[in-house]
Structure 1
Amino acid sequence: MAASVGRGAPAAGPEAGGALWAEVWALLPGTEEGLTLALSGEVDDCVRPLLRRARGLLYGAEGRPGEEAAAAALRRLGDVLRDYSWEKLNAGPWREISKAWRQVYTYGCLFGALAEVAAGRPLAPAVRLCDMGLLMGASVLDNVLARLVRVLQQHLPREQRRGAAGLAAESVRTEPRPAPAVRPEDALPRLRCPSLEHFRDNYLIPQKPVVLEGIMDHWPCMRKWSVDYFCQVAGCRTVPVELGTRYTDEEWSQKLMTVGDFISQYIVNENSMGYLAQHQLFDQIPELKEDISIPDYCCLGEGEEEHITINAWFGPEGTISPLHQDPQQNFLAQVFGRKYIRLYSPQDSENLYPHESQILHNTSQVDVEDPDLVKFPNFRKAAFQSCILMPGQVLFIPVKYWHYVRSLDVSFSVSFWWS
């Protein structure tokens, strides 16, 4: 009888042969042919045989002696597929990377994670493999990695689900500190639940920023989300974190770590500065996406809903987004914490001294709250509007509008970029 790690012969390990493996196996196609290994393009000739061999191990076609040996062989094939495709993913600009190679990387992560579960090994490495595939790969088998990691996460011990932050997250300081003064003549207008027509005619078409109130009161995140909640829901999940106060600093860098480690090192510890800022978080962790809604006003745009980019911004007090502009309309929704925000019209671009380098051409050289007026004398000519964005408020930032953001507290915001 052919040995495998699949349905016919459950792999070694008490959990793999029981409820967990049954849940995991239910996520996969019922037959070997059903796991199609479809790729959206060409890859090196050696890759497809490796994929088919790994699939054979899952469904019993390899004939290896014993399930433990099959799981070990599957783990090695996952390593090979990930290592080989990783070189391709880092061979040039991301936009030029073939989707097919990203899919190969996803399959490598899938087979590796399945091998960990089949062998009855600790689940944290399998969860990390799923997250790496979700971050760097491309969806295969109806986004099987997102479904797999959700199952695995439920079987982790509670302390592992919460991550390293543990109970410390419950003691994060919540009392507000003094905020910068916003002069009445500089304050952004506020509007409560305007009609689509009123928003379109008075703000979208003339491209005027405005703070909207009341439009996110019904979102589940407004009653559910907190630092401790993120420990519970995503503490064990691996995400990219930006290290440093602002992305223009020389010491700024990026690092992959679990949400629990991020909270422990950069939220609980007020002496360190790191920021979780990424557009994949809600696809990677669908539980969070279920707690938010795309603002109705986005229907006034030209693109389809699937083209709206949803970004997460989670960080400690003092995190700064330097004065910059974005190529799309933006709704910035504040879930918890406060942010001080300044806006400058695109008409003032020359007075804002954008960086000359191509990579930072959309970012000003000026430190907005402590400008060097000797070096940047025309900055004093630039008029601005400002606000303290409070929980439950949504700021409309028109396309190409310059904006500077500083977190006044531990803060979580969600931005929607739309055309």
Structure 2
Amino acid sequence: MRLKEIPRVKTISKEDFIENYLKPQKPVVIEQLTSDWEAYDKWSLQYMAEVAGDKTVPLYDDRPVDYKDGFNEPHARMKMAEYVNLLQKEPTNYRIFLYNLMKEVPQLQKDFQWPDIGLRLVKQLPMLFFGGENSRVFMHFDIDYSNILHFHFHGKKRCVILPPDQSKYLYKIPHALISREDIDFDHPDYDKWPALKHAEGYVADLKHGEMLYMPEGYWHYMKYLTPGFSMSLRAFPRKFSNLAKAAYNVLVMRHYDNLMRRWKGQEWIDHKNEQAVVKTHEKLGIKPV
């Protein structure tokens, strides 16, 4: 894949963010947006263990989708203190995904500020994401096509993102929001996945306190280079076409896929994986090997 570094600024005005990034739907890393937050000084894995150590948290690993899996059903559960200890002790594939820790631990809500950056952010409590060294979040895009402000804390995280128009190269699974899960996006096998050679996107390594703006419908693949955690703030899509796609995903696509899983079982999952390759290669005129 052809990836270029995401542009970086230390700070930015609301007007410049709207004109240069929001309107043209271009990503940017803002390095010092959180510098006046209490979270900038306080938020670390150890701090999370101290304030939320007794909370039981849902954990997910990188196993392939199984037809028996429920929607967002965790693969394991653990006390937060135990989980942080695991993260600091050794690499692990276990991640916390879309967890509303701020509802469980209200004092965390005082540690961050809602940025006045030109987005009408959804004032729902933000979700947190945790991961161990080398753990990965598969290539996907979000069901609601939101504009996303993605803040990282504690350590370093690599973010590979691609615009929606690159979907045709990413072996998108039909009736889903993901690409083929057996693609190694760190070291793509272009003999097996030749369409990936044409994909163009962006990459950034986020450090503590840095924020990545991801525009509507962008694909993203995340890798925790060190143990750490992130927080996302969201704003509904501004484009009507993306709002319509989001409504279809939530009201139709998700329910249709769940129905087919119950009816066809693993056969449905296997069929979708096969069609991801067939349809991608057909569109691009790539002959099967």
Instruction: Report what 1:347 is aligned to.
Output: 165
Q: Cα–Cα, structure 1 residues 247 and 399, in superposed 2: closer, same or farther, change >3 Å? A: farther
CA distance in 2, matches of 1:214, 1:338: 15
Aligned CA distance change for structure 1 residues 247 and 321 (closer, same or farther; 3 Å): farther
Q: What are the Cα deviations for residues 36-75 of structure 1, in whole angstroms up to 9, with x where unaligned?
A: xxxxxxxxxxxxxxxxxxxxxxxxxxxxxxxxxxxxxxxx
CA distance in 2, matches of 1:248, 1:417: 27
Q: For residues 32-181 of structure 1, what are the structure 2 equivalents within 5 Å?
A: none
Task: Give the counterpart letter for 1:270 in structure 2.
Answer: E
Query: Is the 1:333–1:415 Cα contact (8 Å) retained in structure 2?
Result: yes
Match of 1:236 among 51, 54, 57: 54
Instruction: Confirm whether residue 262 of structure 1 aligns to residue 83 of structure 2.
Output: yes
Partner of 2:198: 381
1 or 2, which has the higher strand percentage?
Answer: 2
Taking a change above 3 Å as real, the CA distance of residues 367 and 194 of structure 1, as seen in their structure-2 partners, is: same
Q: Specify which of 90, 93, 106 is matched with residue 286 of structure 1.
A: 106
Equivalent pairs counted in the alignment come to 226
Aligned twin of 1:325: 141
Q: Aligned partners of 1:337 and 1:309: how far apart in 2?
A: 23
1:372, distance to aligned residue in structure 2 (A): 2.8
Which SS does the other structure have where 1:296 is aligned? coil
Q: 2:31 aligns with which of 176, 198, 213?
A: 213
| Aligned counterpart for 2:179 among listed residues 352, 361, 364 | 364
Instruction: Give the conservation status (yes or no) of the 8 Å contact 2:157–2:207.
Output: yes
Match of 2:132 among 316, 327, 345: 316
Give me the whole-angstrom Cα distance separating, in 2, the residues matched to 1:294 and 1:364: 32
Quick check: 1:333–1:394 contact (8 Å CA) kept in 2? yes
- Answer whether contact 2:136 2:223 (CA < 8 A) is retained: yes
> Shift in Å at residue 271 of structure 1?
4.9
Displacement of 1:191 in angstroms is 1.6
Deviation, 1:269, is 3.4
Partners of 1:254 and 1:392 in 2: how far apart? Answer: 29
Structure 1 residues 363, 220: CA separation in 2 closer, same or farther (over 3 Å shift)? same
Q: Kindly, what percent of the aligned residue pairs are identical? A: 29
Partners of 1:311 and 1:300 in 2: how far apart? 18
d(CA) in 2 for partners of 1:325 and 1:272?
A: 24
Q: By how many angstroms is 1:203 displaced?
A: 0.6
> 1:80-110 deviations in whole A, cap 9, x for unaligned?
xxxxxxxxxxxxxxxxxxxxxxxxxxxxxxx
CA distance in 2, matches of 1:276, 1:354: 24
Give deviations 1:190-213, integer Å, cap 9, x for gaps. Answer: 122211111111111110000012
In terms of fraction of residues, the more helix-rich structure is 1
Task: Note the residue ranges of structure 1 that are not aligned, 5 or more in a row.
Answer: 1-182
Q: 1:300 aligns with which of 119, 122, 141?
A: 119
After TM superposition, where is structure 1 displaced by more than 6 Å over at least 4 residues in a row? 249-252
C-alpha displacement of 1:253: 4.7
Cα 1:362–1:247 shift into 2, 3 Å: farther
Residues 333 and 395 of structure 1 are in contact (CA less than 8 Å); yes or no, is this contact kept in structure 2? yes
Distance 1:211 1:272, change over 3 A: closer
State the distance in 2 between where 1:362 and 1:374 align.
24
Instruction: Return the alpha-carbon distance in structure 1 between the equivalents of residues 109 and 169 of structure 2.
Output: 39
Q: TM-score, normalised by structure 2?
A: 0.72
Aligned-pair CA distance for 1:249: 6.2
Q: Which residue of 2 aligns with 1:174?
A: none
- Aligned counterpart for 1:334 among listed residues 149, 152, 156: 152
Preserved contact between residue 119 and residue 235 of structure 2 (Cα < 8 Å): no
Change (3 A) 1:417 1:235: same
Aligned ranges for residues 184-203 of structure 1 at < 5 Å?
186-203=4-21
Question: CA–CA distance in 1 between the matches of 2:131 and 2:91?
Answer: 13
Report which of the two structures shows the higher radius of gyration computed on alpha carbons: 1
Larger relative contact order, structure 1 or 2 (CA cutoff 8 Å, min sep 6)? 2
Change (3 A) 1:402 1:247: farther
Q: SS where residue 149 of structure 2 aligns?
A: strand
Asked if residue 411 in structure 1 is aligned to residue 228 in structure 2, the reply is yes
Alpha-carbon RMSD across the aligned residues, in angstroms, is 2.2
Change (3 A) 1:233 1:309: closer
Give the drift of 1:263: 2.1
The Cα shift of 1:230 comes to: 1.9
d(CA) in 2 for partners of 1:253 and 1:300? 31
Deviations 1:283-332 (A, max 9, x none): 111112211222222x533x6x43x4612012211111111111211111
Q: What residue is the counterpart of 1:173 in the other structure?
A: none
User: SS state of the match for residue 349, structure 1?
Assistant: helix
Question: What is the distance in 2 between the residues matched to 1:189 and 1:353?
Answer: 27
